[in-house]
Structure formats: C-alpha cells, structure tokens
Structure 1
C-alpha cells in the first residue's frame, strides 16, 4: 500500500479514544451542581466537539453563573480522574494505526480541540501514543479552537505538508467544519453509538465520506501498490 494523501491528521476524542460519554458525564454532573438539569442527549449535542471555554455564555444563560478559569480547572481535574480510570481506545483503531503508520511514517498527527494534558493522558493510557511520537497538537494552544481551522493548519505546517493535501479524520460537526476550512479532505466517523454524530450531519458539514468501522480506515487513506 502507499499513501493516498500527504498526511493523516486525527481528531482524538471519539476517533482515537472512546471518551465522550465519560467527559460528558463529568460535565453534566457539574452543570447539575450549577442548577442546569441538562440531559445526556442535550449535553452531547451542545458540548461535544467544542471547547468548554467558548461555551461560557451558553452556561450563563442556563445557570446565571459565569464559569471562570477556576471552574474549568476543576472540571478538567474531575474529568481527568474519570478518564484515567475508564477511557479505552476506539475498537479497531489500534490495528488501523498500525497499517497507516507503516505507510505514512511520521506524516501522521493528532490535532484535537482538547487541552494537551487530556490528549497525552488518554493516548498514554490506551497505548496509542507510540504511533505519534509527540506529534500532538492542541486547540488550546492556537488562537481559535474548532470549528476554526487553526489546529489543523498548525499540524499540517509542523508536518511540512500543504493542508490541501492532508486528510482529516473527524467525528463531530465542529471538527469537520474545521478540517474543511483548513482545506483538507475530511473523512467522518460515525459508529452509531448515542454519542456519535449522525452521518448526514457530518456530510452536511462537508465530510467527503462517512465510515462506521475503523477496519475501513486504512483502505480509505491508503492506495493499493502499483502493479
């Protein structure tokens, strides 16, 4: 097999690790404490794929509380405890990364909207960090997080590839919008779980195609060897 693109850029939560329900559980608990009886479905719809720091006005509208840096730090602390105990790799991603890393070498990276500590914690716990060798990019370390394209542009620049020649693997509308805005081809991942985004929503956001099983991913980003 050979590369079909110049680089592969992976979102983390929901693509590499099965973390969204764990994180949303902690967030729901803290929003309940503020007086917002938000449901799991609503929490997933409003917060998955978006930076919590950008959702302050939304939280204020429902609670009358300004969530400052101290509140966000408390959320991250409680979130990390839960993730450290529970997070697992997405089924099939380890095998897919084995093939893709053999084909692409160092032209793969993680470009997540999450803070770096969370990315590192999750990849270390699942053992997926060995595929990326520190090529991790956080939306918290660029001017604007997803749905802005900044983190994907930063990752492509660091890998030395034009973003238009990269492929992005995403599972949220905000992430797809970010990848498309960067100029990359975007593959949407939707596995049918209650935390996953519907395929039609990913396509509407600009995903070139949507797949439901990580066993399909290597074929989508790699070409057959020439005869």
Structure 2
C-alpha cells in the first residue's frame, strides 16, 4: 500500500476562521500606537503576512516606533487576540468533516503565527487531536512564508520528501511558499471574486471539496 500523502495545513483562514478577529484586533490596537489601520486593510493587503512585516509597512507610512513601543504593541495585540479566540473562534465551515475524512493522512499545522497562537486556535475549535504536537511555527523556526523554508523544515521533521507533501493554504504567501518548496498545493480560495489561484496550485472554494482534491492527488501519485 502506498504511504499516504503528508498534509501541511495553514491555520488562520484555512483551519480556523480567525482572520476577521485578527483584523478587528489589529484595528483596535494599532491606532493606539499611532498606526492608523482598518479591518479592510488587513483583508485586502496583509492576509497571512507576518505581523512585524505589517507593522513595518505601516511605520513607513505613518512614522517609526521605537523597539520598546513595538514590543508593547505586539504584546497587547497577542493578549487581546487570544482572549477573542478563546471566546469566539470558529472552524472554517466544513473543515471538521474534512479532517475526519482525511484521518488516514499524517497532518501538521504550518503557520506564520507564534506556536502559542496556533495551539490556542486548535484548542479553541477542538482540532488538537488531529495535529497533537505537530505544530510548526515561523517564530520557532525563524523562517516566514512566502519563504519555502518553513514548509521544507516541517516536511523534514515529519519525515516526508517535498513531493509527498500537500500544502493546504488560503493565503497567497502560503500558496507561493508551497509551490516554491516543490510540493503539491491546494489553494482554499474563499474569495474567488478577488483572488486568483496561481498556476500550479489546485483551487477549491469550500473545505468540503478538500477530501476529493487530496484523493485525486493520491491517485496521481500512484500512476
């Protein structure tokens, strides 16, 4: 029997519907530090992007923060975000059933967020048993999407070559990183009117489509 493909999931916007919460939290905290920001900006410009990259982009527009204020800003944002996640976070529609259907596949979460945030998200929506300790954070490995190194390190830790891995990601930075890593990529494109799936990636628009997409990749890998 062929070894099942290894599935590498993004967290925010792929497994959990956290992006609107994050956009709202950032819009609450960033202006207090002199960095005007709206939820719409996050959704249009910065989905999936490292938080520091967002802050530095805003600083170029509105003025530089010193290191101490920048650190305090991130601490306030992380604290408020965890509180909101524990109280309000929901899984992406259809993802619970999709994960159950893909139970035979080894799985990991590979995220640009801190490990504590990934863990909080999985606990909040009841997905921890699908991934256990297989949580790969850019903050821990010190490499952020769209750099392919994050997925490559996760694959190596899982014991799989890139060609036997499938990246499932909703954001352009993750899709780009997966393709650059030489992996199969499924783009959970939840905003098809506004976003285009890059050549080389498979587009789906709802988590319910994920098991069939993985089954097709599995069949192709056996040819």
TM over 0.5: yes
Kept in 1, the 8 Å contact 2:24–2:38? The answer is no
Output the CA distance in 2 between the equivalents of 1:68 and 1:29: 15
Give 1:214's match in structure 2, choosing from 202, 207, 211. 207
Give the deviation of 1:99 after TM superposition.
1.2
Give the deviation of 1:187 after TM superposition.
0.7
Structure 2 residue ranges without an equivalent (≥5): none
Give the deviation of 1:190 after TM superposition.
1.9
Give the deviation of 1:110 after TM superposition.
0.7
Deviations 1:50-100 (A, max 9, x none): 111223321212321325222212211111111111111111111110111
Output the CA distance in 2 between the equivalents of 1:139 and 1:207: 24
Q: Is 1:87 equivalent to 2:89 in the alignment?
A: yes
- Normalised by the size of structure 1, how large is the TM-score? 0.87
Structure 1 residue ranges without an equivalent (≥5): none
Give the deviation of 1:3 after TM superposition.
7.1
Q: Is 1:138 equivalent to 2:140 in the alignment?
A: no
3-state DSSP of counterpart to 1:114: coil
3-state DSSP of counterpart to 1:119: helix
Output the CA distance in 1 between the equivalents of 2:18 and 2:193: 14
Kept in 1, the 8 Å contact 2:163–2:182? The answer is yes
- By relative contact order (CA 8 Å, sep 6+), the higher-ranking structure is 1
* Matched ranges for 1:1-227 at <5 A: 6-66=5-65, 68-101=70-103, 103-104=104-105, 107-192=106-191, 198-200=194-196, 203-204=197-198, 206-223=199-216
3-state DSSP of counterpart to 1:168: strand
- Normalised by the size of structure 2, how large is the TM-score? 0.88
